[in-house]
Structure 1
Amino acid sequence: MLFMLIVKASKNSEAGNLPSPELRQAMTQYNEELVKAGVRVAAKGLHPSSNGIRLSYPAAGGDPVITDGPFTESEDLIAGFILIDVNSREEAISWAMRMPDPQGHGEGQVELRQVFD
């Protein structure tokens, strides 16, 4: 079963502020544990939305509208993701619970979603 741990953006990640060396080390260790367990498929951080492009479809069947970032709805933005392949929802939750606060400032939020097969 594939699950994506979606790391939500924060004011710090949107400002392009890198995590502290301690948090980077903790995240590296967490990712190494995922790899050692054979469950990590992919993991990447994303540039701030100021470098992003959004396509919206305001009319059914119409052409998309392109909007350059930054985007102001920070609660809807993503700072990174980890894709894991596990045996159950419970195992996915267990791995998600082991992740350090991905923002390191008490702002971290991770959404866990199952991927369709």
Structure 2
Amino acid sequence: MRVMVFVKATTDSEAEETPAPSAELLEAMGRYNNELVDAGILLAGDGLKPSKHGKRVAFDGASRTVIDGPFAETKELVAGYWLWQVRDMDHALEWVKRCPNPMPGPSEIEIRPLYEMSDFEATMSPEAASLHEGARSKLGN
């Protein structure tokens, strides 16, 4: 099972005036990431710059509207992510509980399972399956 693990943004992570993470936190996260790699769980992961450097695109039919950051509701923003391959949700929870606190103060990490093509078997046409498989094979997945 693949899961996306989101490190939720905080007021501090959204403020560029905040000092960079401490050497201790960077080392702890580095050790944790190495444990994930050694366990064969980590597929990808990175931190994100504050939302003021981002953009959103709102869709309404054929219309597209670009919205410049920063975005309101810091608690709904993502400051970083991991993509993991785990046995099940309990396995993912075990690993998240081992994570160092990713922020200087209170923080949250969210775990969400990814859809797999098998989730769409009932409605997947052979043409759609071929298109999706072609994209995955180009990516080496």
Matches within 5 A, 1:48-87: 48-57=50-59, 59=60, 61-87=61-87
Cα separation, 1, equivalents of 2:98 and 2:104? 14
Cα separation, 1, equivalents of 2:114 and 2:62? 28
Cα separation, 2, equivalents of 1:31 and 1:77? 22
Q: TM-score w.r.t. structure 1 length?
A: 0.92
Cα separation, 2, equivalents of 1:81 and 1:96? 12
Displacement of 1:54 = 0.8
Displacement of 1:8 = 0.5
Displacement of 1:47 = 0.8
Confirm whether residue 114 of structure 1 aligns to residue 116 of structure 2: no
- Comparing 11-20 with 78-87, which one deviates more in the overlay? 11-20
**1:64 partner SS:** strand
CA RMSD of aligned residues (A): 1.1
Q: Which runs of 5+ in 2 are unaligned?
A: 117-141
**1:31 partner SS:** helix
Cα separation, 2, equivalents of 1:36 and 1:110? 21
Counterpart in the other structure of 2:30: 28
Cα separation, 2, equivalents of 1:99 and 1:45? 15
Displacement of 1:67 = 0.8
**1:50 partner SS:** helix
Greater C-alpha radius of gyration: 2
Displacement of 1:62 = 3.1
**1:95 partner SS:** helix
Percent identity, aligned pairs only, is 40
Bigger fraction of residues in helix: 2
Cα separation, 2, equivalents of 1:116 and 1:97? 23
What number of residue pairs does the alignment pair up? 114
**2:46 partner SS:** strand
Cα separation, 2, equivalents of 1:25 and 1:9? 20
Q: Which amino acid aligns with 2:37?
A: V
Counterpart in the other structure of 2:47: 45
Displacement of 1:64 = 1.4
